[in-house]
Protein backbone atom coordinates (compact mmCIF):
# COMPACT_ATOMS: atom_id res chain seq x y z
CA UNK A 1 0.00 0.00 0.00
CA UNK A 2 1.46 3.34 -1.01
CA UNK A 3 1.46 6.22 1.37
CA UNK A 4 1.22 9.86 0.54
CA UNK A 5 3.37 12.35 2.37
CA UNK A 6 2.34 15.90 2.89
CA UNK A 7 4.61 18.80 3.55
CA UNK A 8 1.96 20.85 5.24
CA UNK A 9 -0.76 18.59 6.50
CA UNK A 10 -3.01 20.54 8.81
CA UNK A 11 -2.47 19.68 12.45
CA UNK A 12 -5.99 18.43 13.03
CA UNK A 13 -6.53 16.28 16.12
CA UNK A 14 -6.45 12.79 14.69
CA UNK A 15 -6.76 9.47 16.43
CA UNK A 16 -4.58 7.91 13.73
CA UNK A 17 -1.96 9.16 11.27
CA UNK A 18 -3.53 10.64 8.14
CA UNK A 19 -3.34 7.65 5.83
CA UNK A 20 -3.19 4.74 8.20
CA UNK A 21 -6.21 2.46 8.13
CA UNK A 22 -8.43 1.60 11.04
CA UNK A 23 -8.85 -2.17 11.36
CA UNK A 24 -12.58 -2.39 10.68
CA UNK A 25 -13.25 0.29 8.07
CA UNK A 26 -11.28 -1.20 5.15
CA UNK A 27 -13.03 -4.59 5.38
CA UNK A 28 -16.43 -2.90 5.73
CA UNK A 29 -15.79 -0.95 2.54
CA UNK A 30 -14.66 -4.09 0.72
CA UNK A 31 -17.80 -5.97 1.80
CA UNK A 32 -19.92 -3.05 0.64
CA UNK A 33 -18.28 -2.99 -2.80
CA UNK A 34 -18.62 -6.75 -3.28
CA UNK A 35 -22.31 -6.56 -2.32
CA UNK A 36 -22.77 -3.64 -4.72
CA UNK A 37 -21.27 -5.62 -7.62
CA UNK A 38 -23.64 -8.50 -6.83
CA UNK A 39 -26.57 -6.09 -6.93
CA UNK A 40 -25.42 -4.24 -10.04
CA UNK A 41 -23.23 -6.36 -12.35
CA UNK A 42 -23.26 -3.65 -15.06
CA UNK A 43 -21.58 -1.25 -12.62
CA UNK A 44 -19.13 -4.02 -11.75
CA UNK A 45 -18.21 -4.50 -15.40
CA UNK A 46 -17.85 -0.74 -15.91
CA UNK A 47 -15.46 -0.70 -12.93
CA UNK A 48 -13.36 -3.46 -14.51
CA UNK A 49 -14.73 -6.48 -12.57
CA UNK A 50 -15.29 -8.64 -15.62
CA UNK A 51 -16.12 -11.81 -13.70
CA UNK A 52 -19.61 -10.30 -13.43
CA UNK A 53 -19.85 -10.08 -17.23
CA UNK A 54 -22.32 -12.95 -17.68
CA UNK A 55 -24.77 -11.79 -14.98
CA UNK A 56 -27.89 -9.96 -16.10
CA UNK A 57 -30.22 -7.67 -14.19
CA UNK A 58 -33.42 -6.17 -15.57
CA UNK A 59 -34.88 -2.69 -14.92
CA UNK A 60 -37.86 -4.09 -13.02
CA UNK A 61 -39.74 -2.70 -10.00
CA UNK A 62 -38.43 -5.70 -8.02
CA UNK A 63 -34.82 -4.80 -8.87
CA UNK A 64 -35.43 -1.19 -7.79
CA UNK A 65 -36.89 -2.49 -4.54
CA UNK A 66 -33.77 -4.60 -3.98
CA UNK A 67 -31.63 -1.52 -4.65
CA UNK A 68 -33.69 0.50 -2.17
CA UNK A 69 -33.25 -1.95 0.68
CA UNK A 70 -29.57 -2.41 -0.21
CA UNK A 71 -29.04 1.37 0.09
CA UNK A 72 -30.97 1.75 3.36
CA UNK A 73 -29.16 -1.21 4.87
CA UNK A 74 -25.65 -0.03 3.96
CA UNK A 75 -26.48 3.56 4.82
CA UNK A 76 -27.26 2.43 8.39
CA UNK A 77 -23.98 0.50 8.60
CA UNK A 78 -21.79 3.36 7.39
CA UNK A 79 -23.61 5.92 9.53
CA UNK A 80 -22.95 3.70 12.55
CA UNK A 81 -19.15 3.94 12.07
CA UNK A 82 -17.84 6.51 14.58
CA UNK A 83 -15.85 9.18 12.73
CA UNK A 84 -13.32 9.61 15.51
CA UNK A 85 -11.78 6.19 14.84
CA UNK A 86 -11.03 6.96 11.21
CA UNK A 87 -8.11 8.50 9.37
CA UNK A 88 -8.66 11.61 7.21
CA UNK A 89 -8.88 9.50 4.06
CA UNK A 90 -11.31 7.05 5.65
CA UNK A 91 -13.50 9.84 6.99
CA UNK A 92 -13.77 11.16 3.44
CA UNK A 93 -14.52 7.67 2.12
CA UNK A 94 -17.26 7.29 4.71
CA UNK A 95 -18.77 10.64 3.75
CA UNK A 96 -18.57 9.77 0.05
CA UNK A 97 -20.27 6.38 0.50
CA UNK A 98 -22.99 7.90 2.67
CA UNK A 99 -23.47 10.66 0.07
CA UNK A 100 -23.71 8.09 -2.73
CA UNK A 101 -26.25 5.94 -0.86
CA UNK A 102 -28.41 8.94 0.02
CA UNK A 103 -28.22 10.09 -3.57
CA UNK A 104 -29.24 6.65 -4.86
CA UNK A 105 -32.19 6.55 -2.45
CA UNK A 106 -33.26 10.01 -3.56
CA UNK A 107 -33.02 8.99 -7.22
CA UNK A 108 -35.08 5.85 -6.60
CA UNK A 109 -37.73 7.54 -4.49
CA UNK A 110 -37.92 11.15 -5.68
CA UNK A 111 -36.25 11.73 -9.03
CA UNK A 112 -37.56 8.47 -10.56
CA UNK A 113 -35.84 9.12 -13.87
CA UNK A 114 -36.42 5.48 -14.90
CA UNK A 115 -40.12 6.38 -15.24
CA UNK A 116 -39.84 9.51 -17.39
CA UNK A 117 -36.59 9.05 -19.36
CA UNK A 118 -36.88 6.12 -21.81
CA UNK A 119 -33.18 6.54 -22.73
CA UNK A 120 -32.24 5.41 -19.19
CA UNK A 121 -32.98 1.92 -20.44
CA UNK A 122 -30.17 1.28 -22.87
CA UNK A 123 -28.20 -1.99 -22.75
CA UNK A 124 -25.71 -1.00 -25.50
CA UNK A 125 -22.87 0.36 -23.35
CA UNK A 126 -22.40 -2.85 -21.37
CA UNK A 127 -22.64 -5.02 -24.50
CA UNK A 128 -20.17 -2.79 -26.33
CA UNK A 129 -17.74 -2.79 -23.42
CA UNK A 130 -17.72 -6.60 -23.18
CA UNK A 131 -17.37 -7.03 -26.93
CA UNK A 132 -14.54 -4.51 -27.32
CA UNK A 133 -12.43 -4.83 -24.15
CA UNK A 134 -9.65 -7.41 -24.26
CA UNK A 135 -10.18 -8.67 -20.72
CA UNK A 136 -10.42 -12.25 -22.03
CA UNK A 137 -10.15 -14.02 -25.42
CA UNK A 138 -13.09 -13.43 -27.78
CA UNK A 139 -14.79 -16.84 -27.26
CA UNK A 140 -14.95 -16.22 -23.48
CA UNK A 141 -16.36 -12.73 -24.03
CA UNK A 142 -18.98 -14.09 -26.39
CA UNK A 143 -19.95 -16.65 -23.78
CA UNK A 144 -20.56 -13.80 -21.32
CA UNK A 145 -22.56 -11.93 -23.96
CA UNK A 146 -24.89 -14.86 -24.70
CA UNK A 147 -27.14 -14.59 -21.62
CA UNK A 148 -27.17 -10.80 -21.96
CA UNK A 149 -28.36 -10.97 -25.56
CA UNK A 150 -30.89 -13.65 -24.60
CA UNK A 151 -32.28 -11.38 -21.86
CA UNK A 152 -32.92 -8.38 -24.13
CA UNK A 153 -36.61 -9.15 -24.80
CA UNK A 154 -37.23 -9.34 -21.03
CA UNK A 155 -35.08 -6.23 -20.54
CA UNK A 156 -37.23 -4.16 -22.89
CA UNK A 157 -40.47 -5.55 -21.42
CA UNK A 158 -39.28 -4.36 -18.00
CA UNK A 159 -38.23 -0.97 -19.43
CA UNK A 160 -41.63 -0.50 -21.05
CA UNK A 161 -43.42 -1.39 -17.81
CA UNK A 162 -41.29 1.15 -15.90
CA UNK A 163 -42.35 4.12 -18.02
CA UNK A 164 -45.10 6.49 -16.88
CA UNK A 165 -45.31 10.17 -17.83
CA UNK A 166 -42.32 10.51 -20.18
CA UNK A 167 -40.82 13.70 -21.65
CA UNK A 168 -40.86 14.27 -25.40
CA UNK A 169 -37.11 15.09 -25.50
CA UNK A 170 -35.92 11.93 -23.72
CA UNK A 171 -38.34 9.79 -25.72
CA UNK A 172 -36.90 11.19 -28.96
CA UNK A 173 -33.41 10.52 -27.63
CA UNK A 174 -34.22 6.87 -26.91
CA UNK A 175 -35.66 6.49 -30.43
CA UNK A 176 -32.52 8.11 -31.92
CA UNK A 177 -30.27 5.77 -29.95
CA UNK A 178 -32.01 2.58 -31.11
CA UNK A 179 -29.96 2.24 -34.35
CA UNK A 180 -26.83 2.37 -32.15
CA UNK A 181 -28.14 -0.58 -30.12
CA UNK A 182 -28.86 -2.47 -33.36
CA UNK A 183 -25.34 -1.68 -34.59
CA UNK A 184 -23.84 -3.26 -31.46
CA UNK A 185 -25.97 -6.37 -32.11
CA UNK A 186 -24.63 -6.43 -35.69
CA UNK A 187 -21.09 -6.28 -34.31
CA UNK A 188 -21.84 -9.18 -31.99
CA UNK A 189 -23.19 -11.17 -34.96
CA UNK A 190 -20.03 -10.46 -36.95
CA UNK A 191 -17.67 -11.45 -34.14
CA UNK A 192 -19.75 -14.56 -33.30
CA UNK A 193 -19.40 -15.54 -36.94
CA UNK A 194 -15.61 -15.10 -36.78
CA UNK A 195 -15.46 -17.26 -33.65
CA UNK A 196 -17.64 -20.00 -35.14
CA UNK A 197 -20.50 -19.33 -32.71
CA UNK A 198 -22.98 -17.96 -35.26
CA UNK A 199 -25.49 -20.76 -34.73
CA UNK A 200 -25.73 -20.18 -30.98
CA UNK A 201 -26.33 -16.47 -31.45
CA UNK A 202 -28.63 -16.37 -34.46
CA UNK A 203 -32.06 -16.94 -32.86
CA UNK A 204 -31.13 -14.87 -29.78
CA UNK A 205 -29.99 -11.95 -31.93
CA UNK A 206 -33.17 -12.07 -34.01
CA UNK A 207 -35.30 -11.89 -30.84
CA UNK A 208 -33.10 -9.10 -29.48
CA UNK A 209 -33.48 -7.01 -32.65
CA UNK A 210 -37.23 -7.50 -32.54
CA UNK A 211 -37.21 -6.33 -28.89
CA UNK A 212 -35.31 -3.13 -29.77
CA UNK A 213 -37.73 -2.39 -32.61
CA UNK A 214 -40.69 -3.20 -30.37
CA UNK A 215 -39.47 -0.70 -27.77
CA UNK A 216 -39.17 1.99 -30.45
CA UNK A 217 -42.68 1.23 -31.71
CA UNK A 218 -43.98 1.53 -28.14
CA UNK A 219 -42.16 4.84 -27.62
CA UNK A 220 -43.57 6.28 -30.85
CA UNK A 221 -47.13 5.91 -29.63
CA UNK A 222 -46.51 7.25 -26.08
CA UNK A 223 -48.00 10.66 -25.26
CA UNK A 224 -45.39 12.79 -23.43
CA UNK A 225 -46.91 14.46 -20.38
CA UNK A 226 -43.84 15.77 -18.59
CA UNK A 227 -41.72 18.83 -19.46
CA UNK A 228 -37.95 18.46 -19.75
CA UNK A 229 -37.27 21.22 -17.20
CA UNK A 230 -36.43 19.77 -13.80
CA UNK A 231 -37.98 22.60 -11.76
CA UNK A 232 -36.76 24.15 -8.52
CA UNK A 233 -38.21 21.43 -6.25
CA UNK A 234 -35.99 18.73 -7.80
CA UNK A 235 -33.10 20.94 -8.89
CA UNK A 236 -31.83 21.98 -5.44
CA UNK A 237 -31.73 18.43 -4.02
CA UNK A 238 -30.19 17.04 -7.22
CA UNK A 239 -27.51 19.73 -7.06
CA UNK A 240 -26.89 18.88 -3.40
CA UNK A 241 -26.54 15.14 -4.14
CA UNK A 242 -24.51 15.37 -7.35
CA UNK A 243 -22.26 18.36 -6.73
CA UNK A 244 -21.83 18.09 -2.95
CA UNK A 245 -20.96 21.78 -2.76
CA UNK A 246 -20.94 23.88 0.37
CA UNK A 247 -23.19 26.30 -1.57
CA UNK A 248 -26.76 25.95 -2.76
CA UNK A 249 -27.59 25.82 -6.47
CA UNK A 250 -29.11 29.30 -6.21
CA UNK A 251 -25.96 30.78 -4.63
CA UNK A 252 -23.76 29.05 -7.21
CA UNK A 253 -25.90 30.53 -9.99
CA UNK A 254 -25.60 34.01 -8.50
CA UNK A 255 -21.84 33.63 -8.11
CA UNK A 256 -21.62 32.56 -11.76
CA UNK A 257 -23.52 35.69 -12.84
CA UNK A 258 -21.04 37.80 -10.90
CA UNK A 259 -18.05 35.94 -12.39
CA UNK A 260 -19.55 36.36 -15.88
CA UNK A 261 -19.49 40.11 -15.41
CA UNK A 262 -15.84 40.07 -14.26
CA UNK A 263 -14.74 37.92 -17.20
CA UNK A 264 -16.59 40.04 -19.75
CA UNK A 265 -15.08 43.25 -18.35
CA UNK A 266 -11.59 41.77 -18.62
CA UNK A 267 -12.24 40.45 -22.15
CA UNK A 268 -13.54 43.85 -23.20
CA UNK A 269 -10.29 45.49 -22.04
CA UNK A 270 -8.18 42.87 -23.87
CA UNK A 271 -10.22 43.22 -27.06
CA UNK A 272 -10.00 47.03 -26.99
CA UNK A 273 -6.22 46.80 -26.59
CA UNK A 274 -5.93 44.30 -29.47
CA UNK A 275 -8.34 46.08 -31.83
CA UNK A 276 -5.90 48.39 -33.71
CA UNK A 277 -3.31 45.65 -34.38
CA UNK A 278 -5.84 42.95 -35.23
CA UNK A 279 -8.57 44.96 -37.01
CA UNK A 280 -6.67 47.97 -38.45
CA UNK A 281 -8.06 51.46 -38.80
CA UNK A 282 -11.77 50.58 -38.65
CA UNK A 283 -13.31 52.24 -35.56
CA UNK A 284 -14.18 49.71 -32.84
CA UNK A 285 -17.89 49.04 -32.17
CA UNK A 286 -19.25 50.49 -28.97
CA UNK A 287 -21.22 47.34 -28.13
CA UNK A 288 -19.16 45.17 -25.77
CA UNK A 289 -20.21 41.83 -27.26
CA UNK A 290 -19.61 43.04 -30.84
CA UNK A 291 -16.14 44.34 -29.91
CA UNK A 292 -15.03 41.10 -28.22
CA UNK A 293 -16.74 38.88 -30.80
CA UNK A 294 -15.10 40.56 -33.80
CA UNK A 295 -11.57 40.31 -32.36
CA UNK A 296 -12.07 36.64 -31.42
CA UNK A 297 -13.45 35.91 -34.86
CA UNK A 298 -10.46 37.48 -36.59
CA UNK A 299 -7.90 35.78 -34.33
CA UNK A 300 -9.56 32.37 -34.76
CA UNK A 301 -8.19 32.16 -38.30
CA UNK A 302 -4.86 31.19 -36.75
CA UNK A 303 -5.03 27.40 -36.33
CA UNK A 304 -3.20 24.22 -37.33
CA UNK A 305 -3.80 22.49 -40.62
CA UNK A 306 -6.54 19.89 -40.48
CA UNK A 307 -4.20 16.91 -41.00
CA UNK A 308 -1.82 18.16 -38.29
CA UNK A 309 -4.48 18.28 -35.55
CA UNK A 310 -3.55 15.09 -33.65
CA UNK A 311 0.22 15.57 -34.18
CA UNK A 312 0.07 19.10 -32.80
CA UNK A 313 -1.66 17.89 -29.64
CA UNK A 314 0.97 15.16 -29.28
CA UNK A 315 3.76 17.74 -29.65
CA UNK A 316 2.32 20.03 -26.98
CA UNK A 317 2.24 17.48 -24.14
CA UNK A 318 6.01 17.54 -23.42
CA UNK A 319 5.94 21.35 -23.58
CA UNK A 320 3.25 21.51 -20.91
CA UNK A 321 5.16 18.97 -18.82
CA UNK A 322 8.29 21.12 -19.01
CA UNK A 323 6.39 24.30 -18.10
CA UNK A 324 4.84 22.73 -15.01
CA UNK A 325 8.25 21.36 -13.93
CA UNK A 326 10.25 24.54 -14.65
CA UNK A 327 7.75 26.74 -12.81
CA UNK A 328 7.53 24.36 -9.88
CA UNK A 329 3.75 24.16 -10.00
CA UNK A 330 3.23 20.51 -9.20
CA UNK A 331 5.16 17.23 -9.14
CA UNK A 332 4.66 14.84 -12.06
CA UNK A 333 5.26 11.14 -12.44
CA UNK A 334 7.62 10.34 -15.32
CA UNK A 335 6.94 6.61 -14.88
CA UNK A 336 3.31 7.12 -15.96
CA UNK A 337 3.57 8.73 -19.39
CA UNK A 338 0.42 9.82 -21.18
CA UNK A 339 -0.18 8.09 -24.52
CA UNK A 340 -1.80 10.38 -27.09
CA UNK A 341 -3.70 8.34 -29.66
CA UNK A 342 -6.47 8.64 -32.24
CA UNK A 343 -9.79 7.75 -30.61
CA UNK A 344 -10.64 4.10 -31.42
CA UNK A 345 -13.39 3.91 -34.07
CA UNK A 346 -16.02 2.37 -31.81
CA UNK A 347 -15.68 5.19 -29.26
CA UNK A 348 -15.96 8.07 -31.71
CA UNK A 349 -18.88 10.41 -31.99
CA UNK A 350 -19.01 11.89 -28.49
CA UNK A 351 -16.18 14.13 -27.27
CA UNK A 352 -13.45 15.35 -29.61
CA UNK A 353 -10.74 14.90 -26.98
CA UNK A 354 -10.86 13.06 -23.67
CA UNK A 355 -8.76 11.22 -21.12
CA UNK A 356 -9.43 7.50 -20.89
CA UNK A 357 -8.15 6.08 -17.63
CA UNK A 358 -8.24 2.53 -16.31
CA UNK A 359 -10.55 1.86 -13.35
CA UNK A 360 -9.25 0.95 -9.89
CA UNK A 361 -9.40 -2.77 -10.70
CA UNK A 362 -7.21 -2.38 -13.80
CA UNK A 363 -4.12 -0.49 -12.59
CA UNK A 364 -1.97 -2.27 -15.17
CA UNK A 365 -3.82 -0.60 -18.07
CA UNK A 366 -2.49 2.54 -19.74
CA UNK A 367 -3.97 6.02 -19.59
CA UNK A 368 -4.80 7.41 -23.03
CA UNK A 369 -5.48 10.86 -24.34
CA UNK A 370 -7.99 10.06 -27.08
CA UNK A 371 -8.16 12.65 -29.84
CA UNK A 372 -10.61 12.25 -32.70
CA UNK A 373 -8.95 13.28 -35.99
CA UNK A 374 -10.95 15.61 -38.22
CA UNK A 375 -10.93 13.13 -41.15
CA UNK A 376 -14.66 12.40 -41.16
CA UNK A 377 -15.74 16.05 -41.29
CA UNK A 378 -16.74 18.09 -44.34
CA UNK A 379 -14.31 20.96 -45.15
CA UNK A 380 -16.76 23.43 -43.54
CA UNK A 381 -17.15 21.38 -40.37
CA UNK A 382 -13.39 20.90 -40.11
CA UNK A 383 -12.79 24.63 -40.52
CA UNK A 384 -15.37 25.38 -37.83
CA UNK A 385 -13.69 22.93 -35.40
CA UNK A 386 -10.23 24.29 -36.20
CA UNK A 387 -11.33 27.87 -35.60
CA UNK A 388 -12.89 26.76 -32.32
CA UNK A 389 -9.66 24.93 -31.33
CA UNK A 390 -7.45 27.69 -32.69
CA UNK A 391 -3.78 28.33 -31.87
CA UNK A 392 -4.55 29.47 -28.31
CA UNK A 393 -7.60 27.41 -27.39
CA UNK A 394 -5.94 24.16 -28.48
CA UNK A 395 -3.30 24.80 -25.81
CA UNK A 396 -5.97 25.48 -23.20
CA UNK A 397 -7.75 22.27 -24.22
CA UNK A 398 -4.53 20.32 -23.57
CA UNK A 399 -4.10 22.04 -20.21
CA UNK A 400 -7.67 21.04 -19.31
CA UNK A 401 -7.57 17.44 -20.52
CA UNK A 402 -3.95 16.57 -19.86
CA UNK A 403 -1.38 18.69 -17.99
CA UNK A 404 -1.96 19.88 -15.31
CA UNK A 405 -5.69 19.08 -15.78
CA UNK A 406 -7.46 15.70 -15.81
CA UNK A 407 -4.45 13.46 -16.50
CA UNK A 408 -2.21 15.02 -13.84
CA UNK A 409 -5.05 15.01 -11.32
CA UNK A 410 -5.63 11.34 -12.01
CA UNK A 411 -1.99 10.41 -11.48
CA UNK A 412 -2.09 12.12 -8.08
CA UNK A 413 -5.46 10.57 -7.17
CA UNK A 414 -4.16 7.09 -7.98
CA UNK A 415 -1.44 7.45 -5.39
CA UNK A 416 -3.98 7.41 -2.60
CA UNK A 417 -5.19 3.84 -2.33
CA UNK A 418 -8.89 4.56 -2.03
CA UNK A 419 -11.21 2.53 -4.27
CA UNK A 420 -14.15 4.54 -2.94
CA UNK A 421 -12.76 7.83 -4.24
CA UNK A 422 -11.76 6.30 -7.55
CA UNK A 423 -15.19 4.69 -8.06
CA UNK A 424 -17.55 7.33 -6.68
CA UNK A 425 -15.33 10.34 -7.20
CA UNK A 426 -16.85 13.80 -7.15
CA UNK A 427 -17.36 15.13 -10.68
CA UNK A 428 -17.31 18.78 -9.59
CA UNK A 429 -13.90 18.31 -7.96
CA UNK A 430 -12.53 16.63 -11.11
CA UNK A 431 -13.92 19.19 -13.59
CA UNK A 432 -13.28 22.05 -11.18
CA UNK A 433 -9.61 21.07 -10.95
CA UNK A 434 -9.24 21.13 -14.75
CA UNK A 435 -10.85 24.58 -14.93
CA UNK A 436 -8.73 25.80 -12.01
CA UNK A 437 -5.63 24.38 -13.78
CA UNK A 438 -6.33 26.56 -16.83
CA UNK A 439 -6.43 29.70 -14.71
CA UNK A 440 -3.37 28.66 -12.72
CA UNK A 441 -1.33 28.13 -15.92
CA UNK A 442 -2.35 31.52 -17.29
CA UNK A 443 -1.42 33.12 -13.94
CA UNK A 444 2.01 31.44 -14.15
CA UNK A 445 2.61 33.28 -17.42
CA UNK A 446 2.00 30.40 -19.80
CA UNK A 447 1.55 31.72 -23.35
CA UNK A 448 1.52 35.26 -21.94
CA UNK A 449 -0.03 37.62 -24.50
CA UNK A 450 -3.22 39.68 -24.80
CA UNK A 451 -4.40 37.13 -27.39
CA UNK A 452 -4.00 34.24 -24.94
CA UNK A 453 -5.70 36.16 -22.15
CA UNK A 454 -8.64 36.96 -24.41
CA UNK A 455 -8.99 33.38 -25.67
CA UNK A 456 -8.70 31.97 -22.16
CA UNK A 457 -11.46 34.41 -21.22
CA UNK A 458 -13.65 32.94 -23.94
CA UNK A 459 -12.91 29.38 -22.79
CA UNK A 460 -13.40 30.20 -19.12
CA UNK A 461 -16.64 32.00 -19.93
CA UNK A 462 -17.93 28.71 -21.31
CA UNK A 463 -17.74 27.03 -17.87
CA UNK A 464 -19.34 30.04 -16.22
CA UNK A 465 -22.08 30.20 -18.87
CA UNK A 466 -22.79 26.47 -18.46
CA UNK A 467 -23.85 27.14 -14.88
CA UNK A 468 -25.93 30.20 -15.77
CA UNK A 469 -27.58 28.27 -18.61
CA UNK A 470 -28.38 25.13 -16.63
CA UNK A 471 -30.00 26.96 -13.73
CA UNK A 472 -31.79 29.43 -16.00
CA UNK A 473 -33.26 26.66 -18.17
CA UNK A 474 -34.22 24.15 -15.47
CA UNK A 475 -35.33 26.52 -12.72
CA UNK A 476 -36.05 29.92 -14.27
CA UNK A 477 -37.72 28.70 -17.46
CA UNK A 478 -35.32 30.29 -19.99
CA UNK A 479 -36.52 29.97 -23.60
CA UNK A 480 -34.55 28.36 -26.43
CA UNK A 481 -34.13 31.74 -28.18
CA UNK A 482 -32.73 33.36 -25.03
CA UNK A 483 -30.45 30.38 -24.40
CA UNK A 484 -29.00 30.55 -27.92
CA UNK A 485 -28.49 34.31 -27.58
CA UNK A 486 -26.67 33.78 -24.26
CA UNK A 487 -24.36 31.23 -25.89
CA UNK A 488 -23.76 32.74 -29.33
CA UNK A 489 -23.84 36.52 -28.94
CA UNK A 490 -22.93 36.82 -25.26
CA UNK A 491 -20.45 33.92 -24.97
CA UNK A 492 -18.98 33.95 -28.51
CA UNK A 493 -19.80 30.33 -29.34
CA UNK A 494 -20.57 29.01 -32.82
CA UNK A 495 -24.16 28.31 -33.83
CA UNK A 496 -23.35 24.61 -33.98
CA UNK A 497 -21.83 24.48 -30.51
CA UNK A 498 -24.74 26.45 -29.08
CA UNK A 499 -27.31 24.09 -30.62
CA UNK A 500 -25.48 21.08 -29.21
CA UNK A 501 -25.43 22.76 -25.80
CA UNK A 502 -29.15 23.48 -25.99
CA UNK A 503 -29.76 19.82 -26.68
CA UNK A 504 -27.52 18.78 -23.79
CA UNK A 505 -29.26 21.10 -21.33
CA UNK A 506 -32.63 19.64 -22.34
CA UNK A 507 -31.44 16.07 -21.77
CA UNK A 508 -29.29 16.54 -18.64
CA UNK A 509 -29.51 18.68 -15.53
CA UNK A 510 -26.99 19.87 -12.92
CA UNK A 511 -23.95 18.22 -14.61
CA UNK A 512 -23.26 21.42 -16.59
CA UNK A 513 -22.79 23.32 -13.31
CA UNK A 514 -19.98 21.01 -12.11
CA UNK A 515 -17.19 22.90 -13.94
CA UNK A 516 -17.80 26.30 -12.42
CA UNK A 517 -19.00 25.02 -9.07
CA UNK A 518 -15.83 22.95 -8.49
CA UNK A 519 -13.56 25.68 -9.86
CA UNK A 520 -15.04 28.42 -7.71
CA UNK A 521 -14.66 26.36 -4.53
CA UNK A 522 -11.05 25.38 -5.31
CA UNK A 523 -10.13 28.95 -6.18
CA UNK A 524 -11.75 30.32 -3.02
CA UNK A 525 -9.92 27.71 -0.93
CA UNK A 526 -6.58 28.70 -2.44
CA UNK A 527 -7.17 32.38 -1.86
CA UNK A 528 -8.05 31.67 1.76
CA UNK A 529 -4.91 29.59 2.33
CA UNK A 530 -2.75 32.10 0.45
CA UNK A 531 -3.40 34.60 3.20
CA UNK A 532 -1.66 32.32 5.70
CA UNK A 533 2.08 32.61 6.33
CA UNK A 534 4.36 30.15 4.51
CA UNK A 535 1.90 29.44 1.70
CA UNK A 536 3.46 27.54 -1.21
CA UNK A 537 1.53 27.08 -4.43
CA UNK A 538 3.15 23.73 -5.16
CA UNK A 539 2.48 22.39 -1.67
CA UNK A 540 -1.12 23.56 -1.96
CA UNK A 541 -1.59 21.70 -5.25
CA UNK A 542 0.06 18.53 -3.97
CA UNK A 543 -1.94 18.44 -0.79
CA UNK A 544 -5.21 19.25 -2.53
CA UNK A 545 -4.76 16.52 -5.14
CA UNK A 546 -3.50 14.02 -2.57
CA UNK A 547 -6.98 13.64 -1.10
CA UNK A 548 -8.20 12.04 -4.33
CA UNK A 549 -11.56 12.65 -6.00
CA UNK A 550 -13.33 13.85 -2.86
CA UNK A 551 -15.83 16.72 -2.82
CA UNK A 552 -14.02 20.09 -2.57
CA UNK A 553 -16.15 20.89 0.49
CA UNK A 554 -14.58 17.97 2.42
CA UNK A 555 -11.04 18.70 1.20
CA UNK A 556 -11.44 22.35 2.16
CA UNK A 557 -12.61 21.41 5.65
CA UNK A 558 -9.43 19.33 6.12
CA UNK A 559 -7.05 21.89 4.62
CA UNK A 560 -8.48 24.78 6.56
CA UNK A 561 -8.22 22.72 9.73
Binding site for Zn ion (CB under 5 A): 431, 434
Nearest distance in Å: CB 541, Zn ion: 17
Q: Contact at 8 Å (CB) between 171 and 120?
A: no
Q: How far is the CB of 355 from Zn ion (least distance, A)?
A: 8
Contact between 521 and 245 under an 8 Å Cβ cutoff? The reply is yes
The least distance separating Zn ion from the CB of residue 433, rounded to whole angstroms, comes to 9
Closest CB to Zn ion among residues 151, 434: 434
Residue nearer to Zn ion on the CB measure, 81 or 435: 435
Nearer to Zn ion, 117 or 390 (CB): 390
Q: Distance between CA 134 and CA 534 in Å, rounded?
A: 49
Least distance from C-beta 295 to Zn ion, angstroms? Answer: 16
CA angle 338, 343, 345 (to 5 degrees): 150
Give 321's contacts (C-beta < 8 A, 6+ positions apart): 332, 403
Q: How far is the CB of 146 from Zn ion (least distance, A)?
A: 37
What one-character DSSP code corresponds to residue 167? B
Q: 9 vs 434, which CB is nearer to Zn ion?
A: 434
In angstroms, the CA 427 to CA 434 distance is 11
SS (H, E, C) 442-498: HHCCCCCCHHHHHHHHHHHHHHHHHHHHHHHHHCCCCCHHHHHHHHHCCCCCCHHHH
Q: 72 Cβ partners below 8 Å, 6+ apart?
A: 105
What whole-number distance in Å separates Cα of residue 106 and Cα of residue 184? Answer: 32
Our CB check for Zn ion shows the closer of 235 and 515 to be: 515
CA distance 82 to 16: 13
Contacts 24+ apart (CB under 8 A), 451-454: 451/274, 451/299, 451/392, 452/392, 452/395, 453/266, 453/270, 454/267, 454/270, 454/271, 454/274, 454/292, 454/295, 454/296, 454/299
Three-class secondary structure of residue 406 per DSSP: helix
Residue 431 or 542 with smaller CB distance to Zn ion: 431
Measured CA distances, 240 to 74, 513, 553 (Å): 20, 12, 12
DSSP label of 355: E
* Beta carbon nearer to Zn ion, 121 or 294: 294
CA pair distance 58, 154, nearest whole angstrom: 7
Least distance between Zn ion and beta carbon 561 (Å): 30
Cα(185)–Cα(146) distance, integer angstroms: 11
Beta pairing class for 368-371 and 353-356: antiparallel
Residues 6+ apart with CB under 8 A from 549: 413, 421, 422, 425, 426, 429, 430
Whichever of 37 and 368 has its CB closer to Zn ion, that residue is: 368
Closer residue to Zn ion (CB): 45 or 313: 313
CB-CB contact of 343 with 371 (8 Å):
yes
Work out the angle between the directed axes of helices 61-79 and 88-106 (0-180°, nearest 10): 150
Neighbouring C-beta atoms of residue 203, cutoff 10 Å: 10
Nearest to 209 by CA among 225, 187, 186: 186
- Least separation in angstroms between CB 459 and Zn ion: 12
Tell me how far, at minimum, the Cβ of 408 lies from Zn ion, in Å: 12
On whether the CB atoms of residues 468 and 486 are closer than 8 A, the answer is yes
Q: Give the nearest distance from C-beta 255 to Zn ion in angstroms.
A: 20
Q: What are phi and psi of 24, to 5 degrees?
A: -95, -25
- CA pseudo-torsion sign 360, 361, 365, 369: negative
From the CB of 340, what's the least distance to Zn ion, in Å? 16
Residue with smaller CB distance to Zn ion, 388 or 431: 431
Candidates 145, 290, 262; CA nearest to 208 is 145
- What is the smallest separation between the CB atom of 303 and Zn ion, expressed in angstroms? 6
Minimal distance, residue 268 CB to Zn ion, in Å: 25
> How is residue 285 annotated by DSSP?
P
CB of 217 to Zn ion, least distance (A): 38
Q: Between 201 and 459, whose beta carbon lies closer to Zn ion? A: 459
Whose CB is nearest to Zn ion? 434
Pick 145 or 295: Cβ nearer Zn ion: 295
Q: Indicate the residue among 321 and 431 with the shorter CB distance to Zn ion.
A: 431
Amino acid sequence: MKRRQFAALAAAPLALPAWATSPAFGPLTERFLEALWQLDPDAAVAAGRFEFAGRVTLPTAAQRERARSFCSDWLRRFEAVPEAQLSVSERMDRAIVIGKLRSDLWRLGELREWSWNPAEHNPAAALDLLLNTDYAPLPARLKALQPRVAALPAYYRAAQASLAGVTREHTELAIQQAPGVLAVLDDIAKRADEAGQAAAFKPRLAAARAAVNGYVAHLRQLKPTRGFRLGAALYEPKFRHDIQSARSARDTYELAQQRREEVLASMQAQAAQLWPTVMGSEPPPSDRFALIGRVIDKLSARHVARERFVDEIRAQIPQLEAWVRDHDLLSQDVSKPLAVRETPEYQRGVAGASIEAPGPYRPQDKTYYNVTPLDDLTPEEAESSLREYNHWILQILNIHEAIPGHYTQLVHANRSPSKVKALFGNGAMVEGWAVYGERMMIESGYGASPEMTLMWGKWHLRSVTNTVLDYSVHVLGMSEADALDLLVRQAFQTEREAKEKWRRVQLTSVQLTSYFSGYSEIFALREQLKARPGFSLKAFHEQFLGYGNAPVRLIAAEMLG
